[in-house]
Structure 1
Amino acid sequence: MDPNWDDMRVFLAVAREESLSSAGRLLKIDPATVGRRVSRLELALKAPLFTKSPQGYVLTSAGERLFEHAQGAEEAMRAAAGAMEGATKSLSGQIRIGAPDGSANYLLPQVCAKISDSNPDLDIQILALPRIINLSRREADMAITVSAPTAGKLLVQKISDYKLHMVATADYLSRHGPIRSVNDVKGHRMIGYIPDMIFDRELDYLNDLGIDRVPLASNSVSVQLRQASLGTGVCIAHDFTLPFHPQLKKILTDQVSLTRSFHLVRHQGDQRNERLNRFADALSRGIRDEVARLEAEAQA
Structure 2
Amino acid sequence: MTDASPHWDDLRIFLALARAESLSTAGHVLKKDPATISRRMQRLEQNLGVRLFNRSPQGYLLTEPGQRLLQHADAMEQSFINAEQAVADSPDQLRGSIRIGAPDGCASFLLPQVVEQICQDNPELEVQIVSLPRIFNLSKREADMAIAVSRPQTGRLIVQPLTDYQLSIAVAKTWIAKHGEPLSLEDLKPHRFVGYIPDMIFDSELDYLSEIGINPPRLSSNSVVVQLNWARQGAGPAIVHDFALPFAPELMPVLRQEISLQRTFYLIRHVDDRQVNRLNRFARLLTEGVRAEAARLAKQVAQAYPLEP
Q: TM-score band, normalised by the shorter chain?
A: over 0.9
Show CA shifts across 1:113-157 (max 9, x none).
111111111110010001111212211111010001111111111
Q: Structure 1: how far apart are the matches of 2:40 and 2:98? A: 27
State whether structure 2 residue 165 is matched by structure 1 residue 138.
no
Q: 1:261 pairs with 258, 261, 264, which one? A: 264
Which residue is 1:107 aligned to?
A: 110
TM, length-normalised to structure 2? 0.94
Is 1:248 aligned to residue 251 of structure 2?
yes
What is the CA distance between 1:248 and its match in structure 2?
1.1
Matched AA of 2:64: S
CA contact (8 A) 1:93 1:123 kept: yes
Give TM-score, length-normalised by structure 1: 0.96
Distance in 2, Cα, partners of 1:230 & 1:56: 43
Residue deviations 1:224-282 (CA, integer Å, cap 9, x gap): 11111122211111110011011211111111011100100111111101111111111
In the alignment, which residue of structure 2 is the partner of 1:49?
52
- 1:85/1:275 contact within 8 Å kept: no
Question: What is the SS of the residue equivalent to 1:210?
Answer: coil
Partner of 1:189: 192
Query: Contact 1:168–1:251 (CA<8 Å) still a contact in 2?
Result: yes
Indicate if the aligned counterparts of 2:89 and 2:95 stay in contact, CA closer than 8 A.
no
The separation in 2 between residues aligned to 1:110 and 1:22, in whole angstroms, is 31
- The 2-side partners of 1:217 and 1:96 are apart by 29
Which whole-Å deviations, capped at 9, do the CAs of 1:10-44 have from their partners, x for residues lacking one?
00111111122211111111112212221232233
Name structure 2 gaps, 5 residues minimum.
304-309
Q: Answer whether contact 1:166 1:256 (CA < 8 A) is retained.
A: yes
Identical positions, percent: 52
Paired letter, 1:23: A
Q: Find the aligned partners of 2:84 and 2:261 in 1 and give their Cα distance.
A: 42
SS at match of 1:157: strand
**Alignment match, 2:124:** 121
Report the AA paired with residue 52 of structure 2: L
CA–CA distance in 2 between the matches of 1:10 and 1:166? 48
Which sits farther off after the overlay, 194-203 or 84-93?
A: 84-93
Matched positions, count: 300
Distance 2:277 2:40 in 1: 32
Cα deviation, residue 55, structure 1: 1.3
1:44-193 counterparts in 2 under 5 A? Answer: 44-193=47-196
Residue aligning to 1:36 = 39
Secondary structure at 1:178's aligned position in 2? coil
Aligned partner of residue 298 in structure 1, secondary structure: helix
Greater Cα offset, 209-218 or 141-150: 209-218
Question: Are 1:82 and 1:276, in contact at CA under 8 Å, matched by a contact in 2?
Answer: no
Q: Secondary structure of 1:95's match? A: strand
Question: Gaps spanning 5+ residues in structure 1: where?
Answer: none
Please state whether the residue corresponding to 2:133 is helix, strand or coil.
Answer: coil
Instruction: Work out which of the residue numbers 200, 208, 212 in structure 2 matches 1:209.
Output: 212
Q: For residues 173 and 59 of structure 2, what CA distance do their matches in structure 1 show? A: 53
Pick from 298, 301, 308: which aligns with 1:298?
A: 301
Of residues 227-236 and 99-108 in structure 1, the stretch that sits farther from structure 2 once superposed is 227-236
| Distance (whole Å) between structure 2 residues aligned to residue 194 and residue 131 of structure 1 | 13
Whether the 8 Å contact between 1:78 and 1:270 is mirrored in structure 2 is no
The CA distance in 2 between the partners of 1:61 and 1:91, in whole Å, is: 39
Q: Secondary structure at the match of 1:125?
A: strand
> Which structure 2 residues correspond to residues 17-32 of structure 1 after superposition, within 5 A?
17-32=20-35
What is the root-mean-square deviation in Å for CA atoms of aligned residues?
Answer: 1.3
